[in-house]
Chains A and B, each alone.
Chain A
């Protein structure tokens, strides 16, 4: 796993967590959206928190797609679930919120899961790489596994 790939996984984690928090903060300021007043949802985009949250979620989508181009779905999802842990730690140390013992247990379980998946290979090797990959590309694809 190269440094660049670690950066991409970190990007998926941080952008998702930060984007969700900003969106949720902004939507609380913008007020509740009901199906009868859908214009409130459109106007909510004008709130800077919501707008910045959407930008971060687009960055999340780009890094998520990047990660899925070289790693399995069952690798990327657990590996990037540290975002939940990040949010809890921000709540505890930046916002000084109370984190209950049950939540600390959740943090421990997620971290354990991430540890498990990170120790294994990132990509399943298929003998048939399909018509989309040229010979050179499939060589590169198998090189990813060898790197680790």
Chain B
């Protein structure tokens, strides 16, 4: 039963982390390359463009939810399982979500990178 709670906690953390990252990525693609924007309209132009983007606020909110759900999951479950499993599965989840929702070209090179990094993080944090 405890195992079930721990894994549900991990999945909730992964879900919010992935949604937060995808929203933030979409928001920043809508804002556009900040270096170009900065050169044209200065720092306040960049800040104004970001703050007028609703997706940015959704992204920040969901990232905050992901952070707090991780804290709760860590307090319920075994830290040596929750931390590496959540971090590692987030890499894999993000690769799927970026392909589906952001239409990124996730080619073989990027899949291999995501899997290698996920495995490495699991080993390092475990």
- Give which listed residue, A64, A68, A81, contacts B121 with CB less than 8 A: A81
Interface residue count on the B side (C-beta < 8 Å): 42
Q: Is the CB of A74 within 8 A of B95?
A: yes
Determine if A9 is an interface residue (Cβ-Cβ < 8 Å): no
- Give which listed residue, A68, A81, A105, contacts B25 with CB less than 8 A: A68
Q: Between A and B, how many residue pairs show CB distances below 8 Å?
A: 133
Nearest CB in chain A: distance from B21 CB, A:
6
Q: Is the CB of A69 within 8 A of B31?
A: yes
Chain A's interface size range is 35 or more
Quick one: CB contact mask for B97-126 with A, threshold 8 Å, 1 for yes?
011001111110110111111011111111
Q: Is the CB of A78 within 8 A of B113?
A: yes
- Give which listed residue, A85, A88, A106, A120, contacts B109 with CB less than 8 A: A120
- Give which listed residue, B28, B94, B98, B120, contacts A65 with CB less than 8 A: B28
Quick one: CB contact mask for A67-89 with B, threshold 8 Å, 1 for yes?
01110111111100100110010
C-alpha spacing A78/B113, complex, angstroms:
7
